[in-house]
Structure 1
Amino acid sequence: MKERHSGVDTHAKAMRVLLVEDSSLLRETIMDMLSDCSGLSFEGVALSQEEAITQLYQQPFDLLLVDIELAQGNGFEVIRATQQPNFPFPRPAYLILTNHAYPQYRQMANALGVEHFFDKSMDFDMAIETIEAQAAKFSA
């Protein structure tokens, strides 16, 4: 997928994001809300676990923005794929944005080293702000 910035030099250092979300409405909302974030580039979008893992093994990403419950597979397995000995790139940062913010999922996320875990229904704006802050630190 091509970079989405507005008026930014595409050679500038931008945080490369893989968005793993099966809801087209949420994908578009997330990408639209972050479209003016100059330090961020959506380098990939995946709708399923398999599609996400394929992309993760094809190119490096700095941030993995993932939902837990996908139409096919789940976000935890996508994260685990980046922790395998044969993973060819540096491990990306992890941010989970989910409608399933159950305590057991938070515990699993912590065990996998997830830096940020947000509930879509309650923490959506905070998640967007966190991504913007991460991008700003990355490109500084």
Structure 2
Amino acid sequence: MNDTINNDKTHCDLPLRVFLVEDSEEIRELMVENMEMIEGLKVTGVAESEEEALAQIQAMPFDILIVDIQLKKGNGINLLRNIADDKKFSDTLKIICSNNASEVFRRVGRQYGVNHFYDKTSEFPQLFALLQETVSRQECRGRA
């Protein structure tokens, strides 16, 4: 009998952790609900303001950061600017999901390390497809 079957579990078995910064309660709930349907993905934190997000992300590990531009207090661009040079977030997948889908915001987002930009008025399916694809192709990265 092989007793090592359960020893094949690796850090790949851990879900990818998402931190969501979105000020609209309705949109936040919709996004969390959809993300919870993706096996291998877990929303580990949410914030609705820049200050709240900055405080939480410094103390909470996560793999994916999804940010809206307009927040109740502050904005997502300032949040991204504040973490842009922090090596702690260098491997974090950064995504903007916002109504402000102009090329200016897309360019500024890229400047601060944003990997993907989605218009939340029309591109939710593409966002969730990206998250599903990311989970499907995740590598063992020794997350704890």
Flag whether TM exceeds 0.5 (same fold): yes
Give the CA deviation at 1:34: 1.7
Q: What residue in structure 2 maps to residue 121 of structure 1?
A: 121
Written as runs of structure 1 = structure 2, the 5 A alignment for 1:1-140 is 12-85=13-86, 89-91=88-90, 92-138=92-138
Give the letter aligned to residue 51 of structure 1. E
Query: What TM-score results when the alignment is normalised by the length of structure 2?
Result: 0.81
> Aligned with 1:65: secondary structure?
strand
State the distance in 2 between where 1:38 and 1:81 align: 31
RMSD: 1.8
Give the CA deviation at 1:93: 1.2
> Aligned with 1:54: secondary structure?
helix
Contact kept in structure 2, 1:13 and 1:139, CA below 8 Å: no
State the distance in 1 between where 2:84 and 2:119 align: 24
Query: What TM-score results when the alignment is normalised by the length of structure 1?
Result: 0.83
> Aligned with 2:97: secondary structure?
strand
Give the CA deviation at 1:90: 3.9
> Aligned with 2:20: secondary structure?
strand
State the distance in 1 between where 2:15 and 2:127 align: 18
State the distance in 2 between where 1:119 and 1:101 align: 5
State the distance in 1 between where 2:21 and 2:52 align: 9
State the distance in 2 between where 1:48 and 1:90 align: 19
Rg larger for: 2
Contact kept in structure 2, 1:60 and 1:90, CA below 8 Å: no
Q: How many equivalent residue pairs?
A: 128
Instruction: Judging by fraction of residues, say which structure has more helix.
Output: 2
Q: Percent identity?
A: 33
> Aligned with 1:22: secondary structure?
coil
State the distance in 2 between where 1:112 and 1:101 align: 16
State the distance in 1 between where 2:62 and 2:35 align: 17
Unaligned 5+ residue runs, structure 1?
Answer: 1-10
State the distance in 2 between where 1:81 and 1:58 align: 15
Contact kept in structure 2, 1:56 and 1:82, CA below 8 Å: no
Give the letter aligned to residue 57 of structure 2. L
Contact kept in structure 1, 2:38 and 2:132, CA below 8 Å: yes
State the distance in 2 between where 1:139 and 1:26 align: 30
Structure 1 stretches of at least 4 aligned residues deviating more than 4 Å after TM superposition: none
